[in-house]
Amino acid sequence: MANSEAIAAAFADGPAYVPYLVVGDPDYESSKAYVEALDRGGADVIELGLPFSEPIAEGSTIQDALVRALDAGMTPERFFSFAEELDVDAALVCMTYYNLIYQYGDETGPRPFVERAAAAGIQGLVVPDLPAEEADPLREACDELGLDLVFIVAPTTRADRLDRLMERVSGYVYVQARLGTTGARDDVSDQTTESLDRLREYDVPKAVGFGISAGDHAERIVAGGADGIIVGSALVDIVADGVAEDRPTAAVADRLEALSRELKRGAERGHRSRTEAVDSV
Amino acid sequence: MSETDTRTTEETERARRPGRERGRDDGKFGPYGGQYVPEALMPAIEELADAYERYVLKNEDGFLDEFRERLADFGGRPTPLQRADRLSERYDTEVFLKREDLLHGGAHKLNNALGQVLLAQYMGKERIIAETGAGQHGTATAMAAAHLDMPCTIYMGERDINRQRPNVFRMKLNGSEVKPVTTGRGTLKEAISETMRDWAETVEDTHYVIGSIVGPHPFPVMVRDFQAVISEEAREQAIEKTGGLPTDVVACAGGGSNTMGAFADFVDDESVALHAVEAGGSTLDVDEEAGVAPNSASLYTGDEGVLHGARTKLLQDSDGQIMESHSISSGLDYAGVGPELAYLVDEGRVDPVAVDDDAALEGFHRLSNTEGIIPALETAHAFGFLEEHHEELGDRVVVNVSGRGDKDLDAAIEETDQRDVANAPDMSMFTGGI
């Protein structure tokens, strides 16, 4: 099912390029320039990371970025202002951990966070430490306010759980390409193909994430059946490198835009080869 | 009586004791508990919940029999319930000590570590991972893994490694690999997060031995059940020695494993008051700006939230960011607490109390000096409580001596030297030169 028209539209024609950055990394203004660069580079959906102090699903690249953002003073309220001020065409999704959503809430449950997110123009949520079993209150609020609640499917997710997840998911499903935490890798795992095969029968866009860092990865993954690619650590690496090398904001933004173009083009090539393969049958 | 008869009696006993059943089905303790973990870990904790039910609750393949035998032969159980003569006199009440400091390894930690490593073996897992703060759970897991011939990796914050070198060496002596965690402030909560990350990558052949009654279901109930041997023994020993139940049970509380272990079999005995003594640190006030709570009193001052897989009481700022906790005892230094304890506190069944660093250190010296037992600094909080609150207690008090203090001698020298502590030895010959 789909709550957000913007997210549905992002997956409607051609593969969606879904980049992720930590909001406020390394500071509020640079971060805004970086997110806008992703948009210029062809982003269809942008996942905005709202930093939490105990990010148990993240590898070291994103953990470090979250610490930089927290040290620079990022808070949920500043995050929402950030989203409001952004000048982008892509649909916005907030990725964060449940405790922040929970604390923003009140006795009615997590609804206040969703209301505030909706007001800030956020179209969907990804909450890595909230499995489907615990998600009903958040999902009800999302359904009511028109946000998508995206779930992650892992290589270890068993068939019975898959059904449960797919009943509750909206917008797109985040296909975790391999076990472990986030982080850029050089190879594309066989687990990706397997995961996509398992999901083929479900009628919801499948975006593959974890480890994608180059255009040819994107191409292969989309050729293998993905409807979108999620890229986080490879982009966060560029930001981290900018911090380490003390590069000007504009230079870092240019690199983010360039990698985005490469990934988007790769995804489009993958999509064409898939369409051609179907046509030739 | 034949063995079968014994088990039937045990089962009847269990049905009469709803406290021991709490959380076993779904991991919920009122609003607390649950399974807030990344999807990649869900199958692993579901598999573990299934193994817990089969081996721990139903004694499949004789798991419990082997566990108890190994706890006796390798661990040295049962531990004594000893009357503390001087303290009894001082407080004009009968004070009994449950001597978990006499368990192999010098703390209650082995009860859980041995149970989980053995369970991992029954489940066919090939590798053990664990987090550790002060190193107590790490050393217990390393001992259990060596005893059962399983390869073991322990994650420990870099700062804790520097503070706890002897424990790091103990783990290595037992053949475990110790991996430093450098993220954040390099303490227990970062080590837990890092171990969960390892598990997310290796779930298929690896078991994560969590060190307390925290984390996603089934960990809180499972660890409680392994630690419950403390109160099972203490309850019988108290009845045998005194002809009745104690009026009060006192235990220190960090994550809460020795606490829940000491309380579990008394929860249904309504006449027994249960006191969870938390680390009050230097003060109960928090510095929201710096994200620091200079204490670890999550039951006493914490708010509901979600951390490390469970909903529980936490030290956090108003946004929900987890605070850096503090205590003189690194084993109590944790921003969360077991969900079952959070529930029992809300229900009014468990009385949470905070004892500060100074009172804990005085308790450390008092027990050492008057009873000939050097307690862990964690345990010392329970004796700080006794000094401050003995007038509110009944006439038969059981205190859980969760661990011995050998590991804390360096810290005790340093901390004592900074204060004017009653009962403390003359510190001049120990300081400066060390």
Instruction: Read off the pLDDT of residues A140-178 as tens digits, 9 standing for 90 and up.
Output: 999 999 999 999 998 888 888 899 899 899 999 999 887
- Residue A278's pLDDT band (cuts 50, 70, 90): low
Provide the residue type at A76 as one letter. P
Q: Which two tokens stand for residue B162?
A: 């520097």
Residue B334: per-residue pLDDT: 87
Distance CA A25, CA A236 (A): 9
Integer Cα distance of A151 and A207 in angstroms:
11
Predicted pLDDT of residue B14: 58
CB-based contact A56 B308, cutoff 8 Å: yes
Candidate from B37, B201, B309 with C-beta closest to A179: B201
Interface test with B, best of A50, A52, A54, A67 (most B CBs within 10 A): A54
Q: List the one residue out of A201, A197, A198, A195 whose CA is nearest residue A209.
A: A195
Reduced to 3 DSSP states, what percent helix, strand and coil does chain A have, rounded to the nearest 5? 50, 15, 35
Yes or no, beta carbons of B43 and A179 under 8 Å apart: no
Nearest to A114 by CA among A130, A103, A101: A101
Beta-carbon contacts below 8 Å between A and B? 115
Distances (CA, A) of B410 to B328, B377, B415, B417, B421: 12, 11, 9, 11, 16
A-chain residues within 8 Å CB-CB of B305? 99, 102-103
Residue A192: the pLDDT is 81
- Distance (Å, rounded) from C-alpha B331 to C-alpha B327? 8
Residue with tokens 């290796």: B202
Same topology for domains B41-75+109-223 and B81-105+228-417, yes or no?
yes
Per-residue confidence (pLDDT) for residue B253, from 0 to 100: 96
Structure tokens belonging to residue A137: 């209150």
The pLDDT assigned to B200 comes to 81
DSSP secondary structure of B24-56? TTT-EETTEE-----GGGHHHHHHHHHHIIIII
Q: What is the mean pLDDT of residues A82-98?
A: 98
Q: How many residues does chain A have?
A: 281
> How far apart are the C-alpha atoms of B139 and B154, rounded to whole Å?
9
B287: DSSP letter: B
Do the Cβ atoms of A54 and B189 come within 8 Å? yes
Cβ A161–B43 below 8 Å, yes or no? Answer: yes
As a whole number of angstroms, the distance between CA A54 and CA B181 comes to: 13
Question: Is A56 in contact with B38 (Cβ distance < 8 A)?
Answer: yes
CATH of B41-75+109-223, one of 3.40.50.1100, 3.40.50.720, 2.40.10.10, 3.30.1490.20: 3.40.50.1100
Catalytic residue set of B: 109, 131, 402
The domain spans of chain B are: 41-75+109-223, 81-105+228-417
- pLDDT tens digits for range B254-263: 999 999 999 9
- Report the alpha-carbon distance of residue A90 to residue B290 in Å, rounded: 35
Rounded to a whole number, what is the distance in Å from the CA of B155 to chain A's nearest CA?
14
pLDDT profile of chain B (434 residues), mean per 10: 52 72 94 93 92 97 98 98 98 98 97 98 98 92 98 92 88 97 77 86 92 96 98 98 97 96 97 97 83 86 94 95 88 92 98 96 97 97 98 98 93 91 83 55
Q: Is B157 on the interface with A (CB under 8 A)?
A: no
Q: Which residue of B has its CA nearest to A100?
A: B320
Q: How far apart are the first and last CA of chain B?
A: 60
Mutate to test the interface with A, among B48, B187, B319 (most CBs of A within 10 A): B319
Closest CA to B29 of B352, B341, B297: B341
Return d(Cα B67, Cα B63) in angstroms, integer. 6
Q: Which residues contact A225 (CB under 8 A, 6 or more apart)?
A: A193, A196, A197, A200, A206, A274
Q: Which residues of A touch B195 (CB under 8 A)?
A: none
Kindly report, residue by residue over B151-192, the tens digit of the pLDDT: 999 999 888 888 788 899 999 999 999 999 987 667 777 888
> Domains plus CATH for chain A?
5-183+190-280 (3.20.20.70)
Instruction: Report the pLDDT value the prediction gives residue B275, as an integer from 0 to 100.
Output: 98
Instruction: Reply yes or no on whether the pLDDT at A184 is more than 70.
Output: no
Window 193-212 of B, Cβ < 8 Å to A: 193, 196-197, 200-204
What does the pLDDT read at residue A118?
Answer: 98
Say whether A184 sits in a helix, a strand or coil: coil
Residue B413 CB neighbour total at 10 angstroms: 14
CA-based nearest residue to A244, from A70, A23, A21, A25 = A25
Q: Which residue has the higher pLDDT, A13 or B31?
A: B31
| CB-CB contact of B340 with B274 (8 Å) | no
User: Looking at the predicted structure, is the pLDDT value of residue A267 above 90?
Assistant: yes
Query: Under CATH, which architecture does the B81-105+228-417 domain have?
Result: 3-Layer(aba) Sandwich (3.40)
B205 C-beta neighbours (distance < 10 Å), count? 10
CB B364 within 8 A of CB B411: no
Provide the b/e sequence for A238-248 (b: ≥16 CB within 10 Å). Answer: bbbebbeeebe
- Per-residue pLDDT band for A179 (boundaries 50, 70, 90) equals low
Counting beta carbons within 10 angstroms of the beta carbon of residue B165, is it exposed (0 to 12), middle (13 to 18) or buried (19 or more)? Answer: exposed
As given in the structure block, the two tokens for residue B392 are 């509110």
Q: Pull the structure tokens for residue B253.
A: 């509380």
Residue A189 pLDDT: 63
